[in-house]
């Protein structure tokens, strides 16, 4: 992905993935697939700190990019929805917002401009997780 954003690191470490905890795994998987076009790589059952979890792992959206993972802990009825804000880039912000609403999400903040020529909006999935969608002008 070449978007003009500088990159680098100070140690021998790379950011590898974001794992979002959800309550309804199937509904969340359908949302992220239909709104953002993510491609499921595989599903897995695992345990983290002794807690059973089911995960949906998506392919990176560009070569060498980080993965996105949905995680549902079996012993937890609902995950917090304010632990992070996800960020996605698009070439057509209006279409992305329409897909979001059609897929059960909602627009939290309408399209705004920002310094540097970017446009962005904030949406929420069905569980209320905040997502920023940005488009370069």
Who contacts 70 (Cβ-Cβ below 8 Å, separation ≥6)? 19, 20, 22, 25, 28, 29, 32, 55, 56, 58
pLDDT per residue as tens digits for the range 3-47: 677 888 888 888 899 999 999 999 999 999 999 999 999 999 999
pLDDT per residue as tens digits for the range 44-96: 999 999 999 999 999 999 999 999 999 999 998 777 788 899 999 999 999 99
pTM of the model: 0.87
Q: Which domains does the chain have, with CATH numbers?
A: 17-136 (3.10.180.10)
Q: Is the dihedral of CA 76, 52, 69, 97 positive or negative?
A: negative
């Amino acid at each position: 992905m070449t978007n003009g954003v500088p990159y680098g690191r100070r140690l021998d470490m790379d950011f590898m993935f974001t794992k979002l905890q959800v309550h309804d795994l199937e509904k969340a998987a359908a949302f992220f697939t239909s709104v953002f076009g993510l491609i499921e790589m595989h599903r897995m059952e695992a345990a983290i700190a002794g807690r059973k979890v089911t995960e949906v792992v998506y392919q990176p959206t560009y070569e060498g990019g980080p993965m996105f993972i949905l995680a549902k802990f079996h012993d937890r009825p609902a995950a917090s929805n304010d632990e992070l804000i996800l960020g996605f880039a698009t070439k057509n912000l209006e279409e992305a917002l329409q897909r979001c609403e059609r897929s059960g999400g909602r627009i939290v903040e309408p399209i705004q401009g920002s310094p540097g020529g970017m446009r962005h909006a904030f949406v929420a999935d069905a569980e209320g997780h905040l997502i920023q969608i940005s488009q370069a002008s």
